[in-house]
Amino acid sequence: MSAPVLARRLDLVVVGAGPAGLAAADAAAGVGRQVLVLDQAPRPGGQIWRHRPGDVLPVEARTLLDRVRPPRVAVACGASVVDAPGPGQLIVDFGGRLAAVETGAVVLATGATERLLPFPGWTLPGVVGVGGMQALLKAGLPVAGSRIVIAGSGPLPWPVAAALHHEGAVVEEILEQADALAVARFALSLIGRPATLARALRYRAATLGIPYRTGGWVVRAEGTDRVTHAVLRVGGRERRIACDWLATAAGLVPRTELAQLLGCTVHEERIVVDQRQATTVRGVWAAGECTGVAGDRAARVEGTIAGLAAMGVERIPGALFRRRDRERRFGELLAQRFAPRRELRERVTAETILCRCEDVRAGAIDPAWSARQAKLWTRVGMGACQGAVCGLACRTLYGWDTAVPRPPLGQPPLGSWARALGEATPPSATPPSPAPPIP
Q: Which of 388, 393, 424, 435 binds another protein (CB under 8 A)?
A: 388
Q: Is 385 in the site for another protein (CB under 8 A)?
A: yes
Alpha-carbon gap, residue 345 to 224, rounded angstroms: 24
What is the footprint of another protein within residues 198-227 (CB under 8 A)?
Answer: 225-226
Alpha-carbon gap, residue 240 to 269, rounded angstroms: 34
Residues 6+ apart with CB under 8 A from 376: none
Q: Which of 155, 215, 307, 383 binds another protein (CB under 8 A)?
A: 383
CB of 150 to another protein, least distance (A): 14
Q: Which of 3, 6, 31, 135 binds another protein (CB under 8 A)?
A: 135
Alpha-carbon gap, residue 211 to 354, rounded angstroms: 31
Alpha-carbon gap, residue 383 to 20, rounded angstroms: 29
Q: Is 296 in the site for another protein (CB under 8 A)?
A: no
Q: Is 53 in the site for another protein (CB under 8 A)?
A: yes
CB of 25 to another protein, least distance (A): 20
Q: Is 359 in the site for another protein (CB under 8 A)?
A: yes
Contact (Cβ atoms closer than 8 angstroms) between residue 350 and residue 310: no
3-state secondary structure the chain: CCCCCCCCCEEEEEECCCHHHHHHHHHHHHCCCCEEEEECCCCCCCCCCCCCCCCCCCHHHHHHHHHCCCCCCEEEECEEEEEEEECCEEEEEECCEEEEEEEEEEEECCCEEECCCCCCCCCCCCEECHHHHHHHHHCCCCCCCCEEEEEECCCCHHHHHHHHHHCCCEEEEEEECCCHHHHHHHHHHHHHCHHHHHHHHHHHHHCCCCCEEECEEEEEEEECCCEEEEEEEECCEEEEEECCEEEECCCEEECCHHHHHHCCCEECCEECCCCCCECCCCCEEECHHHHCCCCHHHHHHHHHHHHHHHCCECCCCHHHHHHHHHHHHHHHHHHHHCCCCHHHHHCCCCCCEEECCCCEEHHHCCCCCCHHHHHHHHCCCCCCCCCCCHHHHHHHHHCCCCCCCCCCCCCCCHHHHHHHHHHCCCCCCCCCCCCCCEC
Question: What mask of x and - would describe binding to another protein in positions 65 to 84, judged by CB under 8 A?
Answer: -------------x-x----
Candidate ranges 125-133, 147-155, 167-175, 193-201; the one touching another protein (CB under 8 A) = 125-133
* First and final C-alpha spacing in the chain: 39
Q: Which of 142, 168, 211, 235 binds another protein (CB under 8 A)?
A: 142
Q: Is 351 in the site for another protein (CB under 8 A)?
A: no
CB of 114 to another protein, least distance (A): 6
CB of 264 to another protein, least distance (A): 18
CB of 320 to another protein, least distance (A): 28
Q: Is 127 in the site for another protein (CB under 8 A)?
A: yes
CB of 316 to another protein, least distance (A): 31
Q: Is 141 in the site for another protein (CB under 8 A)?
A: yes
Question: What mask of x and - would describe binding to another protein in positions 248 to 287, judged by CB under 8 A?
Answer: -------x--------------------------------
Q: Is 411 in the site for another protein (CB under 8 A)?
A: yes
Q: Is 40 in the site for another protein (CB under 8 A)?
A: yes
Q: Is 356 in the site for another protein (CB under 8 A)?
A: yes
* Closer residue to another protein (CB): 128 or 435: 128
Q: Which of 88, 120, 132, 307 binds another protein (CB under 8 A)?
A: 132
Total of chain residues touching another protein, rule CB under 8 A? 44
* Closer residue to another protein (CB): 346 or 351: 351
Q: Which of 145, 317, 413, 427 binds another protein (CB under 8 A)?
A: 413
Question: What mask of x and - would describe binding to another protein in positions 101 to 120, judged by CB under 8 A?
Answer: ------------xx-x----
CB of 103 to another protein, least distance (A): 22
Q: Which of 32, 63, 66, 96 binds another protein (CB under 8 A)?
A: 96
Alpha-carbon gap, residue 319 to 316, rounded angstroms: 9
Judged by the rule CB under 8 A, the positions of this chain that interact with another protein are 40-42, 47, 52-53, 78, 80, 96, 113-114, 116, 123-129, 131-136, 139-142, 225-226, 255, 353, 356-357, 359, 383-385, 388-389, 410-411, 413
